[in-house]
Amino acid sequence: MSDSQGIEGLEEARALLAEAERVCVLSGAGVSAESGVPTFRGEDGLWKNYRAEELATPQAFRRDPRMVWEWYDWRRGKIGGCSPNPGHYALARLALGPKSVSIVTQNVDGLHEAAAREVAGAADPSPALPLEVHGSIFRVKCTACTYKIPHRDPVRWETEAVLPKCPVCGALLRPDVVWFGESLDPMVLTEAFDSARNATLCLVAGTSALVQPAASVPLATLENGGSIVEINPTETPLSGMATFSLRGGSGAILPQLVEGLTEAGG
Ligand code: BJW
Ligand code: ZN
């Protein structure tokens, strides 16, 4: 059965969301696709043109740090020109509304945070600030010590003859993102799984749900008796476990899904 917008299950999913006491959102690259940020997999995905193992692994960085820096500079420049889309704003409104909502994102683009700050205005944005389980492309960290610093300017390193070094210990700096084979920050990961376990509903938006351990976050909700609603134009390994899989772009679906649930008393 389709509703007036033609998205099967939308009305039923909205009712499920309205009833949910605690919501965990797991977002992936698809949520930022309508902002112009490339996804990783699929027809237009980054991995079509770049080999993951040559760029997003610690081995790749050890082998050719300049190539990896240049790739991240290019992506930082591209993402730096992108703004949140209606999907980010809808999630920010939901999280700043009366419901208990936590946003867990695999995205490193900072667009959930930008939406949270914009929607909150003078109010506290923190309920809508995401847990960034794969780090941030706008931060760099030292390869040897605990030094970390925000970093937005994509051209600075490209124009320098030498790669950026840590001001504390002199070792190479690198993007503060999680590469394949690296462990996720245990505190961030624990918080993500705790919020999924406590949630009565997990909204899974724009992720292929292939990369572990993030892809298992919604399973913690299921294991505790909660349900999953998925928003994705295509099927994923989580589709069979979802109560509703809403097929389409999150920029169009999320605003309809959260409608009426974002104001106190809604
Ligand atoms: C839309 C849309 C629209 C389009 N609206 N939707 C075998 C089994 C299990 C695990 C492993 C295994 N072999 C290896 C592993 C471990 C590995 C892993 O999971 N590999 C799998 C690929 C098999 N995981 C790791 O290595 C992780 N660490 C770890 O496990 O540590 C423990 C350990 C240590 C040592 C040894 C072994 C284990 C770390 C994973 C780090 C992932 N890092 C990246 C790069 C981040 C930095 C950067 O940006 O450069 O994170 S990879 C990339 O994938 C990125 C993403 O966050 C992540 C997930 O991708 P996402 O978000 O799902 O995007 P896509 O592109 O895959 O999907 C987009 C979706 O959107 C699609 O479904 C579209 O349909 C949809 N879409 N338009 C809504 N408009
Ligand atoms: Zn250092």
Can you give the pLDDT at residue 1? 42
Angle made by CA atoms 148, 68, 83, in degrees to the nearest 5: 70
Ligand 1, atom 80, residue with closest C-alpha: 249
Q: Which residue has the higher pLDDT, 153 or 159?
A: 153
DSSP bridge partners of 175: 140
Q: Which atom of ligand 1 is nearest to the CA of 72?
A: 50
Tell whether the model's pLDDT for residue 265 goes beyond 70. Answer: no
Confidence band (pLDDT; 50, 70, 90) for 262? confident
Average pLDDT over residues 253-262: 94
Q: Which of 125-134, 229-238, 254-263 has the lowest mean pLDDT?
A: 254-263
Angstrom distance (rounded) from CA 242 to CA 111: 26
Strand order across the beta sheet in which 244-246 lies: 131-132, 100-105, 22-27, 201-205, 227-231, 244-246
| CB distance 236 to ligand 1 below 6 Å | yes
Angstrom distance (rounded) from CA 13 to CA 4: 14
Q: Catalytic residue at 134? A: yes
Distance 168 CA to ligand 1 centre (A): 32
Q: Which of 48-57, 201-210, 232-241, 247-256 has the lowest mean pLDDT?
A: 48-57
Tell whether the model's pLDDT for residue 24 goes beyond 60. Answer: yes
Can you give the pLDDT at residue 3? 45
Contact present, 239 and 245 (Cβ < 8 Å): yes
Q: Which structure tokens are listed for 23?
A: 């919501």
The pick from 26, 34, 40, 103 for probing ligand 1's pocket by mutation, whose C-beta has the most ligand atoms within 8 angstroms, reads 40
Q: What is the pLDDT of residues 91-107, one digit of tens each?
A: 999 999 999 999 999 99
Confidence band (pLDDT; 50, 70, 90) for 162? confident
Ligand 1, atom 10, residue with closest C-alpha: 212
Average pLDDT, the chain: 92
Can you give the pLDDT at residue 55? 86
Amino acid at 105: T
Ligand 1, atom 43, residue with closest C-alpha: 179
Task: Name the burial class of residue 44, with classes exposed (0-12), middle (13-18) and buried (19+) by CB atoms within 10 angstroms of its CB.
Answer: exposed
Tell whether the model's pLDDT for residue 236 goes beyond 60. Answer: yes
Q: Please confirm whether the linkage preceding 213 is cis (ω < 30° from 0).
A: yes
Q: What is this structure's pTM? A: 0.95
Q: What is the pLDDT of residues 43-89, one digit of tens each?
A: 777 777 777 777 899 999 999 998 899 889 889 999 999 999 999 99
